[in-house]
Amino acid sequence: MRRWAPSVLVLVTTVLFVAHPADGSPGPPSTISGPPATGDPTAERAEAEVAAIEAQIAGQQQTVVRFSEQFDQSTTRLAQVQAKLARIRTRVILDRGRYRTAHRQLQEDAVNAYVYDAPATSISSLFSSASDGSALHHEYQDAAIGNVDAAVDRVRSDEHQLATTEQGLQTEVKQAESATANVHHSELAAQTATAAAEATLAQVKGRLAQMIAQQAAVQAARQAAAAAAAADAAARRHAVEQAAQDAQVAQTVGAGSPAATAAIYSANQAAGVGGGAEVVGNGGPEDAQGAGSVALTAAERYLGVPYKYGGASPSGLDCSGLTMLAWHAAGVSLVHSAELQRGQSLPIALSQVQPGDLLFYDLGGDGIDHVVIYVGSGPYGANTIIQAAHTGTVVEFDPIWYFGLVGAGRP
């Protein structure tokens, strides 16, 4: 864990903001300025320390989000494999029962073939090992007439089906063992990442948290300006990523603060929103209807619940745990994974998104790793979402993030 100098506490960062417009959506900061250019080495060192903490928090949060989604996916897949395993085991029991029934019928039909001298060449090998012919003859005399050839076919068919089912069972057992190992591995990774993030955040409190949030807002604004002035795509992409990282840190340590709101605004500007990029929704506040309204009402019951990787209860939630419980209240079953929930949802154009719809993100560049619920009318007007964001945060309303947004869906 990185240690920072006590001198960081003397850092002074000034960030001024305008009030929100009447519709409740966040407005741009009127002035965002960095630390005074005094040339004071102590202040410069303090700023560098805060920047280092900011980078550490951002890296840890991205790691937690990635491993949290991996844990959710591996847990979901394990449950699916276990359910399939149970179904196959039930089929094995049924197939064994059919096989025993068919075999008994074959014995009865074979008795008739023996007693009445019916052709039975197809079953001769089945009884070639019998040592007591008289006993076998008496057994045959107790049976009814049947069709030996048909009975043989049934036995062979049921025997083949039983063998196939048992082979499938063995394959699924191996897959279940692998899935269990994957769950254990991803859980350990998520636990380690979460512990590191929580240890850092435990030291970032009070005035220091405010300074870090303000510093992040300043840096996000600078990166937004850099993105606008970038001469090539690579430079612009780098600036956009840095602005999003700054906004993430500001939200983590100062959720709901003017600094966090300004940082998100700057990150969205860097991503191109407001400069011709497609925005979410119809551009104005919108009330929820139907199932979306039910899902939103359910989600709002969890406001203030702490983020917890793999969580899906009032004691702790992760992003897909919140969306799963919210839409369950509306009668829709979603699995506990952001990526898999996207596959379960009807794709919706961003301009057609309605309150209650899900927004999906690829924050780490490795696939879907975050999901939120669009609110459409809330503390940030039409730009409001509700989410379980990162370690150190709670379920809360936030402005929409555009960085990493890859699509929307309606469960």
- The predicted pLDDT at position 155 comes to 64
Entry pTM:
0.68
* pLDDT digits 0-9 by tens, 82-92: 777 777 777 76
Residue pair 5/55 in contact (Cβ under 8 Å)? The answer is no
Q: Is 60 exceeded by the pLDDT of residue 131?
A: no
- The predicted pLDDT at position 297 comes to 95
**CATH superfamily of the domain spanning 279-411:** endopeptidase domain like (from Nostoc punctiforme) (3.90.1720.10)
Which sequence spans correspond to the domains of the chain? 279-411
Q: What is the mean pLDDT of residues 328-342?
A: 95
3-state SS class at 72: helix
Q: What is the mean pLDDT of residues 89-100?
A: 72
Q: What is the mean pLDDT of residues 400-404?
A: 87
Q: What is the mean pLDDT of residues 19-44?
A: 44
- The predicted pLDDT at position 63 comes to 78
Confidence of residue 134 (pLDDT cuts 50, 70, 90): low
| DSSP type of residue 15 | E
Q: Which residue has the higher pLDDT, 200 or 118?
A: 200
Q: Is 80 exceeded by the pLDDT of residue 316?
A: yes
Q: Is 80 exceeded by the pLDDT of residue 378?
A: yes
Q: Which residue has the higher pLDDT, 138 or 199?
A: 199
Q: What is the mean pLDDT of residues 356-377?
A: 91
- The predicted pLDDT at position 332 comes to 96
* pLDDT digits 0-9 by tens, 173-232: 777 777 677 777 877 877 887 888 778 777 777 878 888 888 888 888 999 899 888 888
Q: Is 50 exceeded by the pLDDT of residue 380?
A: yes
Helices (H), 116-147: 133-141
Q: Which residue has the higher pLDDT, 375 or 100?
A: 375
Residue pair 102/155 in contact (Cβ under 8 Å)? The answer is yes
Q: Which residue has the higher pLDDT, 238 or 52?
A: 238
Give the DSSP per-residue string, 350-409. GGG--TT-EEEE-SSSSS--EEEEE-SSBTTBTTEEEE--STT-BSEEEEPP-TTEEEEE
Q: Which residue has the higher pLDDT, 181 or 323?
A: 323
Question: Which DSSP helix (H) or strand (E) runs through 346?
Answer: strand 346-348
Q: What is the mean pLDDT of residues 88-102?
A: 72
- The predicted pLDDT at position 69 comes to 83
Torsion of CA 210, 212, 213, 216, to 10 degrees: 160
- The predicted pLDDT at position 57 comes to 77
